[in-house]
Amino acid sequence: MASISAKHRAEYYALQVISVFVRWLPRQSALAFGRFVGRLSMWMIRSRYRLAKENMGAALPELSAAEIETNIRKNFEHIGMSGVEMLRLDMFKPGSDDLQRYFEFSDLDHLESAIALNKGVIILTGHLGFWEVGQFVFPELGIPFDVVAKPMKNQLSDHFFEELRTSFGTGIINSRKGARRILKSLQQQRVVGVLLDQHISPPGSVVTEFFGRKAYTTSAITTLAMKYQIPIVPLFCLRQEDNRYKVWAEPMLILSNNGKNSLIENTQKLTNIIETAIRKDVTQWFWMHKRWRVKPDKTEG
């Protein structure tokens, strides 16, 4: 491991202290603490608060200023609760009733049908709800699962979260290693989770419409799915009022290659699916991300 800066060490030690505290609390109390921290962060990280408001206002122009303010407050509370849930991820108990106790599933037959094709499966999802939930859910359902993740700049924290993510047998695929490792996992007939809703700079991306605005979206997954006819199953997880989670799958897609525009058209199709899922509860998406970075004169894919 490379030399660790004092700042990164301080961040890691703070993370450890918070982790011990939220793991000591009962789950509902820990989530209430996360809600409080999320609300507090609205005032501590004002740049992210302003960005989230700007993003939601541009994406959902039909909302009033008061509605946006309310939604963003709920959004920050949700992010705080999700952070706490992540720190407690390995506290779900395999073989117990936790799967039934905390999760409600619907339409998982779509995933089963895709798995039956024996080509591996790409799970299409985004930074919506508690997106880290697959690390527990899929292994508990007996499904071999890997997730594509971008390493954190802080190596200590990155190692900490990697241990949490892999505690139930999930594999981590470094997003910087490209499609080759994803393909290898799929060839082993594993299910691979991909979050397709973050900015990826060209040349590894195409321009798509996302909430009526142009955004760069990775083209690697679309290319892989078209070339090898890998089934894609959209799957999402939303927090409910009682702090249980609703997990649902949507019909699988087999992307066709009908010419030079197929890459953009299929990437747009996947982007549309994510947008539709976000609209089910706009308070549970990661609005504080710099998603829209296409300049007005750069609209080529």
Residues 6+ apart with CB under 8 A from 2: 155
pLDDT of residue 300: 47
Tell which residue, 36, 64, 68, has the closest CA to residue 51: 68
How far apart (Å, rounded) are the C-alpha atoms in residues 103 and 243? 9
How far apart (Å, rounded) are the C-alpha atoms in residues 112 and 96? 22
Residue type, 106: S
DSSP for 50-105?
Answer: HHHHHHHHHH-TTS-HHHHHHHHHHHHHHHHHHHHHHHTGGGS-TTSSHHHHHEEE
Tell me the pLDDT tens digit for each residue of 165-223: 999 999 999 987 768 899 999 999 999 999 999 999 998 899 999 999 999 999 999 99
Tell me the pLDDT tens digit for each residue of 168-184: 999 999 987 768 899 99
How far apart (Å, rounded) are the C-alpha atoms in residues 279 and 216? 20
Task: Quote the pTM value.
Answer: 0.94
Tell me the pLDDT tens digit for each residue of 115-142: 999 999 999 999 999 999 999 999 999 9
What are the domain boundaries of the chain?
6-284
Question: Can you tell me whether residue 10 is helix, strand or coil?
Answer: helix
* Average confidence (pLDDT) over 58-79: 98
Q: How far apart, in Å, do the first and last CA atoms of the chain sit? A: 38
Task: Supply the mean pLDDT for the chain.
Answer: 94
* Residue carrying structure tokens 């963003």: 72
What the block records as the tokens of 72 is 């963003």
Burial code (b: 16+ CB inside 10 Å, e: under 16) for 57-68 equals bebbeeeeeeeb
pLDDT of residue 209: 97
Is-contact 137 85, C-beta < 8 A? no
Tell me the pLDDT tens digit for each residue of 236-291: 999 999 999 999 999 999 999 888 899 999 999 999 999 999 999 999 999 999 99
> Backbone phi, then psi, for 202, in 5-degree steps?
-60, 155
pLDDT of residue 301: 44
Whether residue 2 has pLDDT greater than 90: no
Whether residue 295 has pLDDT greater than 90: no
